[in-house]
Structure 1
């Protein structure tokens, strides 16, 4: 696996709601499916918003809006108070939906997710139709990849398909990569470590590679 994309890790079987889905039906569907966030889609399958457990719980938090609005508590609290009146998905959703392309590199999608302070991202195809949902938990599953799969990916990236002899031994244990051996240039040892960090599922890299020539010293880098 090279640089993973959103499509590589996203949840493809997604519980989605229509804008007019009633509150109680929405709660029941989310609990039955064991999900914490649901995309709201229009008639042609395009995301228009997201409903989270936080949005639904606002009705309990503010007693259905019977409490006075939290004027001094900040914009987020005031938004939850307004949602306490909600009776359907359109009333409760956070809109517009934050969308990313299915071929977006995972690292960039996670930065979008962090910047938006959202629980999930809607993944769409080139027509803007929902094809999946990306959560942090989906991405974290990469760290459960097997050591053999990680080692195989790394060796292919380091050595390619050519059956040439190399001076590097790759070991992986519990997602931790150890690089032993020697390369001609110091820059090559640092590049090997950089490549290892980029393999999906790698937790840490122990770079024990030695080198014959310190080309970084020579070039002044």
Structure 2
């Protein structure tokens, strides 16, 4: 599955000069955990997350402490450009979504902007990946069958799906098996594809 098939678009973005409070409202209103920061020229200059925006946003409540609480020495950063992350991990639309998922797991990154050249094409969050995996087997079955039909292949195959794993049964040549395998892998929610001939051999 390619990243362009799972990414969210259009992307909620924030300007570098937006205030931290404005950015907090944008993330809250759009129910996202991070947003790319885009300058006036349309280029991404960073990304800002909930964690970035929460730093210094609250002052301690003296009612929660036995001793007086010292006031903060300085106010929280006022602008998004002061708190955003500038070294951003990005992805390409035609890259493998599985590799991106592995990277996000290893690094703990929650959202990855997708760039087509220098243009912001989309964003992939953990929620996007979970939504793909949450698709039911019946819907995956219908989508695989419909896709095979578009290429005139539906009569050659019996499709079964269990927990996102697609098994294609049919007696065909090697090139047809490869085509069916590639087509099935493009369907959102498919985690693995096995192509078998009618005798059960791969």
Structure-1-length-normalised TM-score? 0.63
Residues 78-121 of structure 1 show CA distances to partners (whole Å, capped at 9, x for unaligned) of xxxxxx83221111112222222222222233233334421111
Aligned-residue CA RMSD in angstroms?
A: 4.2
Tell me if 1:171 matches 2:171.
Answer: no
CA distance in 2 between counterparts of 1:38 and 1:212 reads: 48
Please state if 1:130 is matched with 2:120.
Answer: yes
Whichever structure has more helix as a proportion of its residues is 1
How many Å separate the matches in 1 of 2:201 and 2:28? 61
In 2, Cα distance between equivalents of 1:161 and 1:207: 17
Which of 173, 190, 194 does residue 202 from structure 1 map onto?
190
Match among 86, 90, 94 for residue 99 of structure 1: 90
Instruction: Say which of 25, 28, 32 aligns to 1:28.
Output: 25
- d(CA) in 2 for partners of 1:9, 1:141: 9
Query: TM-score of the superposition, structure 2-length normalised?
Result: 0.68
Distance 2:153 2:195 in 1: 23
SS of the equivalent of 1:100 reads coil
Instruction: Give the equivalent residue in structure 2 for 1:150.
Output: 144
C-alpha distance in structure 1 between counterparts of 2:111 and 2:8, whole Å: 11
CA contact (8 A) 2:14 2:23 kept: yes
Q: Indicate conservation of the 8 Å contact 2:15/2:80, yes or no.
A: yes
Q: Residues 45-88 of structure 1: CA distance to partner in whole angstroms, max 9, x if unpaired? A: 2222111111222224675x9679xxxxxxxxxxxxxxx83221
What's the CA shift string for 1:147-172, capped at 9, x where partnerless?
3003344x569xx6468x75x53233
28-37 or 137-146: bigger deviation: 137-146
